[in-house]
A and B are shown apart, each in its own frame.
Chain A
């Protein structure tokens, strides 16, 4: 742009030269560090692609560590959680291993998609966390390692963890049946509970859900009564809210005795009368107007103090801890078949392309040890996945909410375990049933029509 006329061009050049000399004198130190950072940064970001060239550029760091270095990644739901994982990573002491923790993106973005991208780019870490529903997809793509041989060698016992997740983690992708495989170990588990704004309950003068639960009267009818009572306060106040995804819908279906799929997950079961009963209840609840309109995100409202009850998992706790009103959690209300619930989980798995499978397995074990699980429970976002009294005791101690037991009760209420359809496609099934159930709840579609047709519509997802 400069130097359109020749005279000013010469002067400009002179000035540039002068400026360069001045700046070079004052900035000699930083020039050197640049070279180093450049080498480091590029080495890091390109990961495996430059692994072969790293010998030339990062010799010094390699020499210092004198052992294998492992990278691991998990999805933290907030910055505090990321910090805890970081300190866990620093605190772990696995012989001869240097650890690097890479915080994955939080819920706001799609962690799994990015992980798959990194896998296809060859830059994925050695050990990473994946949500329970994605196990089959990752196994079928051949990107995670069967850990059974390492586990057998180190005296690992599957029964140390809840059986639901372990069932999926030991499934043979070809048959969909349990087999002598081990795809990983669960990081944590979670169940649904209902977060209650105690101030709104008191203001509305309705029965407190926690008292109702304590006396065994926490039923669907009472739940509806509470919701309507709170909404009767008027204005923008709503009694209840749930997010728009399959989990909360599934919990109601379960409480009615139905489910998304058959027991062996090989066929659609949404056409059952029980599933219809669960959806009818939800549909009536929403038609009554006491709930946050279906599809609207209820969390901002709950945190702003305008929603009385909010169904969500343990992961919502850290965010809700910042609110200014009195709150607690209560288990899900009892439907025709009990409270019903879902068991959500995710697992640490090992990259099939890792160069150090033994050390990676050791890392997976270390990350799921009682101590580490207790440490993470402190954040409030997770329930330990290990069936260990020590870990559970630690979990119960981390309040608020005072009623942490509600989450553990969910675990013992025969929850359905979140997981893939081994012989079908969960994302495909979800893409069909999600909008359909949404239509039923918002009243756009009759339950009868739904029951009659949904399993035909979803047949493709089960390979039909």
Chain B
């Protein structure tokens, strides 16, 4: 308040200074924001890309983000992968004509970095020796194209014979594994079929629909019981209400961990183990939801309902006709929370859905089972992850208005 008597001059100076600071500030802010956004997004980009790869592509090194597959060409009516190998200073398009050619790794003793894998049939022993890493090794005359070089023999190996595609007289040799890594012509080739394949694998499609069903039931059921309970706690006075409410609030503190074992035994004695019911029925009653709805209902002005006649039958109508329409932000928050909870819960299904029968799998279980199998390529696992992530992303896109803006706030109060 002391600044009220600031002069106009000072104010102008402040504005100028704050403008420069602002430009730097905005630039810095965007750098930080974009940096974090990149970190947050990269795994998802990687997820989608990997889901579209071939199994071999997922294990390659150095890793590539985009899915790639070899470009093939037809030679004598057969599709062969296309390589582009250096030959006589240039590069030629070649294909692998023969594998397992006996060869040697030859090294220029003058520059040990320069090594060459070339067939033994094109090398003749000179009788001379050279010293390589302190060891004495024979020297060969190696015929490389038109050039003959004297090179030290380091060790045996095998190479492939590559022949020109356009010009069959072109012939060169290379270690197949390295050629495949470095010289194979590749194009971006998304494998859309992975998604179809994964849904056929271990009933992933059943897991997807099961998860949807479980989620719908849990969200709807929790909303119903929470709205009823929240209303009773906020508007109806009865003996022991506050004590019960305190118990509810206190129970929010209790980690689910404590309940896993007894709840499991309860499922055992009810005969619900290995059924979808075990994922739904126990989770329709949520203390947190009741608490949330109660807090919201308390903030609704009393006069709204006082206009209506208070008696048993009417209360039902007041609740659904007056309170619920006013409470969409809270209801949407609760729905979104419950959605995320039901969609992503892992430890409980892991415990209660444990049979051989994959008909009752939910996505989290299907995913962890898939992920535990080194047999399946990561590409299929990632395709399943894409399926499991898409639905929450869509729901989020539609519920964002409620969730991120109103809802986060009401969650705190």
Give me the interface of A with B, judged by CB distance under 8 Å: 4, 45-46, 49-50, 73, 78, 102-109, 113-114, 117-118, 120-123, 199-200, 202-205, 229, 235-236, 297, 299-301, 303-306, 319
Contacts and interface: CB of A to CB of B under 8 A. Distances in A.
18 contacts: A45-B360, A46-B271, A46-B275, A49-B271, A105-B356, A107-B373, A108-B372, A114-B355, A118-B354, A121-B271, A123-B274, A200-B177, A203-B157, A203-B158, A203-B177, A300-B374, A303-B59, A306-B61
A113 B374 contact: no
Given A203-B158, A204-B155, A304-B56, A106 B61 contact: no
Interface in B23-60: 56, 59-60
Given A114-B355, A319-B375, A300 B156 contact: no
A105 B275 contact: no
A103 B374 CA distance: 19
Given A109-B372, A114-B354, A299-B374, A121 B61 contact: no
A113 B353 CA distance: 12
Interface string B268-301: 1001011100000000000000000000000000
Which DSSP category, helix, strand, loop or mixed, fits chain B's interface? Answer: mixed
Q: Which of B100, B356, B375: most chain A CB closer than 10 A? A: B356
A107 B372 CA distance: 8
A103 B177 CA distance: 39
B100 A202 contact: yes
A121 B268 contact: yes
A396 B268 CA distance: 45
Contacts of A121: 268, 271, 273
Given A46-B275, A102-B356, A121-B273, 11 more contacts: A45-B357, A113-B354, A114-B356, A118-B274, A123-B273, A123-B274, A199-B158, A199-B177, A202-B157, A304-B56, A304-B59
B155 A297 contact: no
Interface in B94-123: 100, 104-105
B325 interface: yes
Interface string B341-370: 000000000000011110010000000111
Interface in B54-70: 56, 59-61
Interface string B60-102: 1100000000000000000000000000000000000000100
A205 B156 contact: yes
A117 B354 contact: yes
Contacts of A49: 271
Interface residues of B, number: 33
B224 to A, nearest CB: 12
Contacts of A122: 268
A104 B369 CA distance: 13
B157 A205 contact: yes
B204 interface: no
Contacts of B384: none
B175 interface: yes
Contacts of B373: 106-108
Interface in B247-279: 268, 271, 273-275
Contacts of B360: 45
Nearest to A77: B375
Given A102-B356, A123-B274, A204-B157, A109 B61 contact: no
A301 B56 CA distance: 10
A118 B273 CA distance: 8
A304 B54 CA distance: 12
Interface string B306-328: 00000000000000000001000
A248 to B, nearest CB: 15
A106 B360 CA distance: 16
Interface in B377-413: none
A49 B274 CA distance: 12
A320 to B, nearest CB: 10
A180 to B, nearest CB: 34
A122 B373 CA distance: 28
B274 A104 contact: no
Contacts of A102: 356-357
Contact of B59 (A46, A204, A301): A301
Nearest to A229: B155
A110 B273 CA distance: 16
Contacts of A306: 59, 61
Interface in B157-175: 157-158, 175
Contacts of A120: 268
Given A78-B375, A105-B356, A235 B61 contact: yes
A337 B195 CA distance: 52
B61 A236 contact: yes
In the A-B complex, the 5 residue pairs with the smallest Cβ-Cβ separation, listed nearest first, are A108-B372, A49-B271, A205-B156, A304-B59, A205-B155
A254 to B, nearest CB: 25
Contacts of A297: 374
A114 B355 CA distance: 6
B274 A45 contact: yes
A126 B354 CA distance: 18
Q: Which of A105, A113, A236: most chain B CB closer than 10 A? A: A105
Contacts of B177: 199-200, 203, 305
A50 B368 CA distance: 30
